Amino acid sequence: MNLQAIAFYVLSVITVVSALGVVSARNPVHSVLYLILSFFTAAGLFVLLGAEFLAMLLIVVYVGAVAVLFLFVVMMLDVDFGSLREGFVRYLPIGGVVAAVLVVEMVLVATAVGEQGAAKGSGAPDILLDAPNTEQIGRVLYTDYIYFFQAAGMVLLVAMIGAIVLTLRHRPGVKRQSVMDQVARTPAKGMRIVQVKTGEGISE
Amino acid sequence: MMDFSGAVALALPEIILAVGALILLMVGAFGGDKSTGLVSVGSGGVLIAGAVAAAYGPLGSTFNGGFVADNAAAFAKVFIYGFSAVGVLLGDRWLKRMAASKFEFPVLIVIAALGMGMMASAGDLISLYIGVELQSLALYVLCAFRRDDAKASEAGLKYFVLGALSSGLLLYGASLIYGFAGSTKFVDIAAAVQAGAGQGAIFGVVFLICGLAFKVSAAPFHMWTPDVYEGAPTPVVAFVAAAPKMAAMVLFARALLQGFPGAVGQWQQVLVVVAALSMGWGALAGLRQRNLKRLLAYSSVTNIGYALLGIAAGTDQGVTAMLVFMVLYMIDTTGLFACLLALNRDGKPMETLADFAGLAKEKPGLALCITGLSFSVMGIPPFAGFWAKFYVFKAAIAAGLWPIAVFGLVASVVAAFYYLRIIKTMWFDPSPGRTDASPLDARGVAVAAALFSCGLVVLALNPLDTVAKLAAAAFHLS
Amino acid sequence: MLEFWTTPLGWTLLTVGQILLITVVLLICVAFLLLMDRKVWAGVQLRKGPNVVGPFGLLQSFADLLKFVLKELIIPAGADKFVFLLAPIITVIVACIGWSVVPFAPGWVIANLNVGILYLLAVSSLGVYGIIMGGWASNSKYPFLGALRSAAQMVSYEVSIGFIIITVILLTGSMNLSTIVDHQAGSILNWHFIGGGANLPTVVVMFPMMVMFFISALAETNRPPFDLPEAESELVAGYQVEYSSTPYLLFMLGEYMNIVLMCAMISVLFFGGWHAPWPEGYLEGLPPTLVSFHGLIIFSVKIVFWFFMFAMVKAIVPRYRYDQLMRLGWKVFLPTSLVAVALIAAWRVFGPGA
């Protein structure tokens, strides 16, 4: 057994076990931590496949940003999982059936891809075998897939507009710091020197 | 792969819309909500420019087969962009009346229209999914646009959650198809299915149909429709009820006819079941509704059933019928929602059946419009709806689906009952009070739609049929 | 004998040996850098700083180490024990693994990854987990607030760090750290912060990028003036409140190793890595080991210089308020770095070197 095989088995076992942990952990925060572990080991599997760019993206995007915010929200929400778990046994048969169907279909696809001629990636773009895979991805992403790439950008833009439209509130009467104004302020504008006469004070 | 300028020429409508939306967004971001009027006018202009570009643009396919500009796409885009422009008009005026102008509203409609155009032009499972997502995301936000309104928020949230579920189904189907066919392009999938890609791909089609059926609100995936129609603001519903359905139906036709021409038998069964359920359930459940928006929601479920029947026929004639049906239905439904938008009592929208009592004396013009449009949706002979159903049934019978056509006829008789009830309430019941003055824009759209459906349709039918035939022929290119 | 090192077992032993070597050397360096931090701080405030343990206080850090290790470990009641203890360990591990791709000298790198720079970005983004887990597991208000602050802060500044890194990648055309360093060979004129060689006009963009990277690095490592997660005057010590003994030591250690890693990153990305600021023609013909040592010394000097900058900022600049921090990250750095990426990309495509 070579090193790669050992690494593969170690990583895949951790991935599967932590994925199980995600659904079985009692504490939601633990669930998210398991999720992060499983992302992390999945990135390791990508590295074994030689897809180091994808592996790093998985960590930067999912582990470094998405999961942090996820953890953030779960910690803040303080979900009572006891009550969420109540229907678990009741819905177990339905969930089991769905899961079984999914497993069967995945196995079908896997065997079809493995055995059949028709399923051999006829649409896969040409790959430059000597280029690093960052460059390979770049080459197809910005040529053949430019349309999808730009369209996906529009989808993200809509998500952003939506989040802003639905949450941004301009409350009246809130004082905001304007750095520009602060910097532009001069003694002449901000200060008035008055001669106060004794006993009279200043009336405004 | 075509050269760059060729690709740009083919995708010009999309590029106009995307770039236009970005520019308008900038205008709005720097001009604030004061610039809403300007952004609305700009949105209308961008949409019309897109429609013109789609109508006169070159034909072909580009971006590695991901984007198809053919007659069908052009046909759909002209109507989608046109109805989106109407949506911008109604929405902008309405927001102004509510004193809640926000420049994002017209921009979101433009982006939704962009997504619909992409759906109509999708030649690939990836562009199919991205188009659907772009369109849906924009619509979710539009539905929840008035966040302070609990019902609108609920509508938006429900739409979003169920929409995410349906996107999941869609993606799952797409991944199964990809797994078995080895490609995401419809053309390659068709070849792979022809070569015997196995039952797995058919599994995938079923999931794909489920996901798309959700988007067109066909039974049994229509659960979101009544709630969203009831909760969302009326101008948004007027938009949601028309253009997205057209886009989703064209996408439906393209995915099935271009991706799976060799498996008509398999997907036809599924479509027939979905169509029958939609027609039957929409007609029956509509009977119980007292809220006009909910009622129209069930009516849309029924009508989508008829349109699906056209695709289920699996012939050129069927698709032609579907396209004609969708256009006429879009006009009817936009007209009806414009009527609802035009009617307010004491500043509140009139939405229940009781509100409409005696409307004929208050607002004879609008009452007449509603009556005409209702007759049309019912399918009473010279009106638009009759011709729409006539085409569909003819195609279905020609394809040997006569039992389901008969079922559809029965359903339409049942559905006729609830339209008759509205008409009776309007003309014969005593009025509970005065209505507010109706705004010009909604009234104008309502009258225009009614005029078309009740008279002009006879003139328009022939050219529409010719164009639709051309469009339907495009699906058999592959 | 040489063949043994290419067998799986030999390779594993060799790699483990390299890792151990770097870790040990690094730990010793951190001990002295910590002392330097305190000395610089003291100097700015006209104090002497630690000067009792050993000559000039040189052994102060080791005394501190002993003290921490020998103290009692307290785990608060109601704390999530496992996560509570896991958090400092993760902090240290994450701070260590980043070093595996840092090229100390020509060829002196444990893993010469093609995506080394992305790896560094990924690892630096993981640092937040130690803090957020520690803050949550303490089951206490102040640590939790500190953890939330740090999560928002680190995620925000990561975005601009990512964009700044992209400008460097665009200039180099590679994500391999050794290639990036070699791209800056020659003299100081080729270093990225003044545009990198023939692309001298890009200095207008690249110099501000270096400054922004430095500031973002301060925020990313929770150093003053961005030490809001700890903020002694507001949150007592933020996420570290409940920690004592070795776990606390591990947090401190991880923090300082992260800082040194950031210094190394700036040196590699903008300051020419192991290359001297003067022309290096005299190195030709020398044995490779000697050249490597020459590079190592220069690289170390650069790291120490940047660490000195970190220390000076800590001593001089007052702490930011939270909204100012967010404003700086999202409204100033993000748009600026985005524009910089566009400019550098345009320069690469349309500029004279294209």
CB contact under 8 A, A105 and B176: yes
**Is residue C35 predicted with pLDDT exceeding 50?**
yes
> Residue B370: left (phi > 0), alpha (psi -120 to 50), or beta?
alpha
Distance from CA of B154 to the nearest CA of A (A): 13
- Number of separate domains in chain B: 1
Q: How confident is the model at residue A130 (pLDDT cuts 50, 70, 90)?
A: low
Which of helix, strand or coil describes residue B62? strand
Answer whether residue B356 is part of any domain: yes
CB contact under 8 A, A29 and C327: no
Segments in B233-263 forming alpha helices (H): 234-240, 243-259
Who's near C43: CB < 8 A, 6+ residues apart? C49
Phi, psi angle pair for C108, to nearest 5° = -95, 80
Preferred mutation among B10, B118, B183, B193 to probe A, highest tally of A CBs within 10 A: B183
Answer whether residue B397 is part of any domain: yes
Q: What is the pLDDT of residue B341?
A: 87
Interface subset of A 86-145, CB within 8 angstroms of B:
105, 108-110, 112-113, 116, 118-123, 143-145
Q: What is the pLDDT of residue B113?
A: 93
Answer whether residue B426 is part of any domain: yes
CB contact under 8 A, A64 and C323: no
**pLDDT, mean of residues C128-151:** 84
First vs last C-alpha separation in chain A: 90
Of B62, B185, B200, the CB nearest to A112: B200
The pLDDT > 90 percentage for chain B reads 18
Task: Tell whether A4 is within 8 A of chain C (Cβ).
Answer: no
**Is residue C330 predicted with pLDDT exceeding 70?**
yes
Of A27, A30, A68, the CB nearest to C155: A68
Give burial (CB, 10 Å; 0-12/13-18/19+) of B305: buried
Q: What's the sign of the alpha-carbon dihedral B313, B318, B321, B322?
A: positive
Query: What is the Cα–Cα distance from C64 to C246, expressed in whole angstroms?
Result: 11
Same domain, A81 and A132: no
**Is residue B272 predicted with pLDDT exceeding 50?**
yes
Structure tokens at B440: 């010009």
Of C113, C136, C327, the CB nearest to A75: C136
Answer whether residue A198 is part of any domain: no
Q: What is the pLDDT of residue B129?
A: 93
Q: What is the pTM of this model?
A: 0.86
Query: What is the Cα–Cα distance from B16 to B113, expressed in whole angstroms?
Result: 11
Upper half-sphere CA count for residue A138 (Cβ side, 13 Å): 9
Answer whether residue B273 is part of any domain: yes
Residue A157: list chain B partners with CB under 8 A: 22, 111
Q: How confident is the model at residue C353 (pLDDT cuts 50, 70, 90)?
A: low
pLDDT single digits (tens) B357-376: 888 888 888 888 888 888 88
Residue bearing tokens 């030999």? C10
Residue B389 sits in which domain range?
Answer: 265-478
**pLDDT, mean of residues B446-465:** 85
**pLDDT, mean of residues A6-28:** 89
- Number of separate domains in chain A: 2
The pLDDT mean for chain C works out to: 85
Q: Which chains touch C (3 or more CB pairs under 8 A)?
A: A
**pLDDT, mean of residues B203-224:** 87
Task: Tell whether A6 is within 8 A of chain C (Cβ).
Answer: no
Least confident range from A129-138, B163-172, C330-339: namely A129-138
Distances in Å between the alpha carbon of B60 and those of A150, B9, B69, B73? 20, 10, 5, 11
Upper half-sphere CA count for residue B217 (Cβ side, 13 Å): 26
Who's near B357: CB < 8 A, 6+ residues apart? B425, B426, B429, B430, B431, B432
Residue A177: list chain C partners with CB under 8 A: 323-324
Interface subset of B 263-282, CB within 8 angstroms of A:
none
**Most distant CA atoms of chain B, gap in Å:** 68
**Is residue B478 predicted with pLDDT exceeding 50?**
no
Short-list B242, B215, B229, CA closest to B88: B242
pLDDT single digits (tens) C244-303: 888 888 888 888 999 999 999 999 988 888 888 888 878 788 888 888 888 899 999 999
> Residue A60: left (phi > 0), alpha (psi -120 to 50), or beta?
alpha
Same domain, A84 and A2: yes
ipTM score of the complex? 0.88
Phi, psi angle pair for B186, to nearest 5° = -60, -40
**Most distant CA atoms of chain A, gap in Å:** 103
Distance from CA of B391 to the nearest CA of A (A): 36
Q: How confident is the model at residue C198 (pLDDT cuts 50, 70, 90)?
A: low
Residue C175: list chain A partners with CB under 8 A: 134
Q: How confident is the model at residue A123 (pLDDT cuts 50, 70, 90)?
A: very low
Same domain, A2 and A61: yes
CB contact under 8 A, C175 and A134: yes
Which of helix, strand or coil describes residue C230? coil
Answer whether residue B189 is part of any domain: no
Of B118, B184, B200, the CB nearest to A151: B118
**Is residue C104 predicted with pLDDT exceeding 90?**
no
Q: How confident is the model at residue B15 (pLDDT cuts 50, 70, 90)?
A: very high
**Is residue A98 predicted with pLDDT exceeding 70?**
yes
Q: Please check whether residue C333 is in contact with residue C212, taking contact to mean a CB–CB distance below 8 angstroms.
A: yes
The segment with the largest mean pLDDT, out of B97-106, B194-203, C339-348, is C339-348
Task: Tell whether B182 is within 8 A of chain A (Cβ).
Answer: yes
**Is residue B99 predicted with pLDDT exceeding 80?**
no
Residue C105 pairs in a beta bridge with: C108
Least confident range from B41-45, C2-6, C178-182: namely C2-6
Short-list B421, B207, B222, CA closest to B302: B222
**pLDDT, mean of residues C311-327:** 86
**Is residue C228 predicted with pLDDT exceeding 80?**
no
**pLDDT, mean of residues B373-388:** 86
Q: Please check whether residue B283 is in contact with residue B411, taking contact to mean a CB–CB distance below 8 angstroms.
A: yes
**Is residue A116 predicted with pLDDT exceeding 70?**
no
Q: What's the sign of the alpha-carbon dihedral A141, A142, A147, A153?
A: positive
Do chain A and C touch: 3 or more Cβ pairs under 8 angstroms?
A: yes
Residue A157 sits in which domain range?
Answer: 128-167
Answer whether residue B370 is part of any domain: yes
Task: Tell whether B164 is within 8 A of chain A (Cβ).
Answer: no
**pLDDT, mean of residues B131-157:** 88
Answer whether residue B210 is part of any domain: no
Structure tokens at B408: 């559809």
Task: Tell whether A25 is within 8 A of chain C (Cβ).
Answer: no
Structure tokens at A139: 């080459």
Percent helix, strand and coil across chain B, each rounded to 5?
A: 80, 5, 15
Interface subset of B 57-116, CB within 8 angstroms of A:
62-64, 66-67, 102, 104, 107-108, 111, 114-115
Interface subset of A 28-87, CB within 8 angstroms of C:
29-30, 33, 36, 52-53, 56-57, 59-60, 63-65, 68-69, 71-72, 75-76
Same domain, A74 and A145: no
**Is residue C180 predicted with pLDDT exceeding 50?**
yes
Phi, psi angle pair for A121, to nearest 5° = 25, 60
Chain C nearest-CA residue for A63: C126
Q: Please check whether residue A121 is in contact with residue B182, taking contact to mean a CB–CB distance below 8 angstroms.
A: yes
Q: What is the pLDDT of residue B1?
A: 46
**pLDDT, mean of residues A161-184:** 82
Q: Please check whether residue B233 is in contact with residue B146, taking contact to mean a CB–CB distance below 8 angstroms.
A: yes
CB contact under 8 A, A71 and C132: yes
**Is residue B33 predicted with pLDDT exceeding 80?**
no
Same domain, A17 and A80: yes
CB contact under 8 A, B25 and A151: no
**Most distant CA atoms of chain C, gap in Å:** 66
Q: What is the pLDDT of residue C221?
A: 86
CB contact under 8 A, B25 and A147: no
Number of other CB atoms surrounding residue A21 within 10 Å? 16
The pLDDT > 70 percentage for chain C reads 95
Rounded to 5°, the CA angle A80-A81-A84 comes to 105
**pLDDT, mean of residues A112-128:** 54
The pLDDT mean for chain B works out to: 87
